[in-house]
Chain A
Amino acid sequence: MSDIASRVKAIIVDKLGVDETEVTNEASFTNDLGADSLDTVELIMEFEKEFNIAIPDDQAENIGTVGDAIAYIEKNAK
């Protein structure tokens, strides 16, 4: 697992209070990991802070799964 992937997963485990094994690349924040809309906003903010990036709202809307987040950050992190 890449460094980015493990950091993303650690944030998700912490914020959503889920087990590490549930946080697969395919897992959807809302459908599989029990996040509501506010949880999702908070996750995006945590990713921004951790990786020192800004994720515009229209991009954030497309980040629905763990894999989506990792891919976006790998592409955009400085």
Chain B
Amino acid sequence: MELKRVVVTGLGAITPLGNTIDTFWDNLVKGVSGAAPITRFDATHFKTKFACEVKDYNPADYFDRKEVRKMDLFAQYAMVAAEQAVRDAGIDPQTIDQDMAGVIWGAGIGGIITFLDETRSFVKNNEVPRFNPFFIPKMISDIAAGHISMKYGLRGPNYGTVSACASASHAIASAFDLIRLGKANIFITGGSEAAINEAGVGGFNAMQAISTRNDDPATASRPFDKDRDGFVMGEGAGALVLEEYEHAVKRGATIYCEMVGAGMTADAYHLTAPHPDGLGAQKVMENALKDGNLKPEDVDYINVHGTSTPLGDIAEPLAIQKVFGDHAYKLNISSTKSMTGHLLGAAGAVEAIASILALKNSIVPPTINLFEVDPQIDAKLNLTPNKAQERNIKVAMSNTFGFGGHNACVVFKALN
């Protein structure tokens, strides 16, 4: 059976760098950091007191009061980004075959804010079980996909993907495959996360996974820098409209680019540490290239996972060199997490969007805060340090790796 072609026709984002695609991209190219002291709760007693929060977000700008009460923040972000993407794609849900349009949405954690609030109220009320009836439907991580489908009446395939920080990439990869197989014409896909609360920050602090550079939050996310000390928590959502090529052409859609490949692998090694040789990362890039019928030399830009953790930032460049050989030195490599922070389950979506916009605008967003490259990383790699670089990009790929050893890679290509 011949696989169908898949194109990107809509984008939406709410991020620590801006609440629209345009502001997000502008700040990404300018090299702005989204990090600042935490405002969501009193972080006085936490080891980490800063994060990359979404700013100037008022739910009343997007939802009526009744809707808001039924949605955890991660689902609200999902709805905001999805709405932007649907509009950007110029889709009128009434005029498409709604049985052939679906939603696959990633969230690594789900409604942790709701979970903590309800647990607190349970303890406060002497453990008398009086849970809110919306507790479960607010918390479960699949619910964002459900909300989006209900808003637009999309009755095609609908589910959530959960693979920690690779969740959104798995969502995009799954939507891509289902369109290729002819099981749907359109997907709204991507991911969202909203875990900047006491449980989220405290939990990641306990793992010693996040930066504690409290005296200088803006330089805390410093992928590949020798003084990096962990990732910076981010939040928000990214949404993509993926569409079968002929379907998009027929309705006269504006096409950003083609999606040509996806890879998925596991490290099968450790709960949280990456394979030291970057084995899973290597395989996932190889799989994605093969899937896209591409040679390593075809790739121009890799938006890396690059979280600013000690181990991960060593393993990933090693994996890139194994896959790309000498071509690795010709690649532009950048970690936009240096600016956005780590959006966890939304990272794959926001970074796929960064890759697509890099391709569209011929600009590679930088890795900021790269003061001195870790000597364990090959200095000849172009990590796009500190300043955006102009480059004509034909093929861009985006890596994400999740706790649990889940790896996913998605590949976009300029439309011929």
Contact = CB atoms under 8 A, between A and B. Distances in A.
Interface of A: 14-17, 34, 38, 41-42, 45
Interface of B: 64-67, 69, 130, 132-134, 137
Q: Is the interface of A mostly helix, strand, loop or mixed?
A: helix
Contact of B133 (A17, A34, A38): A38
A38 B138 CA distance: 12
Contacts of B137: 38
Contacts of A38: 133-134, 137
A15 B64 CA distance: 11
Given A17-B64, A38-B137, A45 B132 contact: yes
B65 A42 contact: no
Contacts of A16: 66
Q: Which of A14, A16, A34, A38 has the most CB of B within 10 A?
A: A38
19 contacts: A14-B65, A15-B66, A15-B69, A16-B66, A17-B64, A17-B65, A17-B66, A17-B67, A34-B66, A38-B133, A38-B134, A38-B137, A41-B133, A42-B132, A42-B133, A42-B134, A45-B130, A45-B132, A45-B133
B59 to A, nearest CB: 12
Nearest to A42: B133
A14 B69 CA distance: 10
Given A14-B65, A17-B65, A17-B67, 6 more contacts: A15-B66, A17-B64, A17-B66, A34-B66, A38-B134, A45-B130
Nearest to A14: B65
A15 B67 CA distance: 10
Contacts of A41: 133
Contacts of A45: 130, 132-133
B137 to A, nearest CB: 7
Contacts of B67: 17
